Amino acid sequence: MKNHLKNVISSLPSKLFFALSSRNLLNWMPDKPYLSALWQAHFHQAYPWKNPRSFNEKLQWLKANDHNPLYPTLVDKYAVRSYIADKIGEQYLIPLVGGPWNSFDEIDFAQLPEQFVLKCTHDSGGVVICHGKDSFDRKSAREKIEKSLKRNYYWGGREWPYRDIQPRIIAEAFMADDSGNSLVDYKFYMFGGTARCILVCTNRSAKSKMNMTFFTPDWNRLPFERQYRNDPNELVKPEHFDEMLSLAEQLSANLPFARIDLYEINRKVYFGEITLHPASGLGKFDPVEWDYTLGEWLDLERYFPGKFV
């Protein structure tokens, strides 16, 4: 009966699948059948479990099969801080100004600085920025944070590392560059510990206008887009790029794939986060050929010999 249901789910119209998934009505499905249905809903084709070739395809395979016990620490925004301090040094951490807390009611706002950033430790997107306490909308912040705390980020994309992370809240220092420019996020795509491309995120203050531009490690633009438009403006290589590259290599050593996010703020490098499955392996490439180029860089056979064919 369950096998029949899995087949039915895989053939559902995309909108119905996403509606059921968002309401946690598909949580009964094991990861592989769910990921097959998720892939079908996004790309309107069967998922190739026996021979994944593209970057997105291989990320789905990793979600289902690569359960490295280190991964939950890497994606937990509080637990990863100790890992980063041990691995590359606490000087690369954005200062922690409060937490961790288990609920919004535990936060003592009187003890926080004038500006800060609240983050949920167990998901993606559970972030609230306070630019000033006088203008801070605490009610709206509570609603967003409490909604995030109730959410298990694992279920939507079956990213295993998030499944058992304790939902908590931390407060980090609000970071701003003295130049007055919005912060630029440098996301190093590390394949087996080697940087093959760098995603530069600009205009991040307005998500609808955000740009994402891919570069080679030699700082040449790459001719493709993924999810967001390229920035048409000239983007200067960061002053401390070599240091950033070295840190990304250290943090991704011995991992099949990891995206290491770093900032350069007031001429200093800071750690952002580690992401193991960008866009949950569902971000579309334009042109699509680059999905397969990045897929060639992700060498599953090296880490899982004979297991994925």
CA 226 to chain centre: 14
Beta-sheet strand order (sheet of 116-120): 96-101, 169-173, 116-120, 127-130
Q: Which residue has the higher pLDDT, 85 or 3?
A: 85
Q: Long-range CB contacts (< 8 A, 24+ apart) of 173-179? A: 173/94, 173/95, 173/96, 173/97, 173/113, 173/115, 173/116, 173/117, 174/113, 174/115, 174/116, 174/117, 174/129, 174/130, 174/131, 175/94, 175/263, 175/265, 175/270, 176/265, 177/265, 177/266, 178/266
Query: Coil, strand or helix: which one is 97?
Result: strand
∠271-124-223 over CA atoms, to 5°? Answer: 70
Question: What is the average per-residue pLDDT within 250-273?
Answer: 98
Look at residue 12 in the predicted model and tell me its pLDDT. Answer: 76
Give the model confidence (pLDDT) of 51-71 as tens digits: 999 999 999 999 999 999 999
Is the model's pLDDT at 11 over the cut of 80?
Answer: no
Q: Which distant-in-sequence residues (6+ apart) come within 8 Å of 106 by Cβ?
A: 169
Give domain limits for the chain.
Answer: 2-47, 95-173, 179-297
Q: Which distant-in-sequence residues (6+ apart) come within 8 Å of 211 by Cβ?
A: 201, 202, 203, 228, 229, 230, 231, 232
Give the model confidence (pLDDT) of 105-135 as tens digits: 999 999 999 999 999 999 999 999 999 999 9
Give the model confidence (pLDDT) of 216-257 as tens digits: 999 999 999 999 999 999 999 999 999 999 999 999 999 999
Question: What is the average per-residue pLDDT within 150-176?
Answer: 97
The answer to whether 43 and 54 are in contact (CB under 8 A) is no
Give the model confidence (pLDDT) of 176-194 as tens digits: 998 888 899 999 999 999 9
The answer to whether 117 and 171 are in contact (CB under 8 A) is yes
| Domain covering 179-297 in this structure, CATH number | 3.30.470
The answer to whether 90 and 136 are in contact (CB under 8 A) is no
Q: Which distant-in-sequence residues (6+ apart) come within 8 Å of 25 by Cβ?
A: none
Q: Is 254 exposed, middle or buried (0-12, 13-18, 19+ CB in 10 A)?
A: exposed
Is the model's pLDDT at 46 over the cut of 80?
Answer: yes
∠169-268-130 over CA atoms, to 5°? Answer: 35
Is the model's pLDDT at 85 over the cut of 90?
Answer: yes
- Separation between Cα atoms, residue 234 and residue 244, nearest integer Å: 20
For the chain, what percent of residues have pLDDT higher than 90? 90
Place of tokens 């620490």: 73
pLDDT grade for 6, boundaries at 50, 70 and 90: low
Is the model's pLDDT at 213 over the cut of 90?
Answer: yes
- Separation between Cα atoms, residue 180 and residue 265, nearest integer Å: 11
The answer to whether 76 and 121 are in contact (CB under 8 A) is yes
Q: In which region does residue 172 sit, left (phi positive, over 0), alpha (psi from -120 to 50) or beta (all else)?
A: beta
Ranges 96-110, 199-213, 234-248: which has the least confidence: 199-213
Is the model's pLDDT at 297 over the cut of 90?
Answer: yes
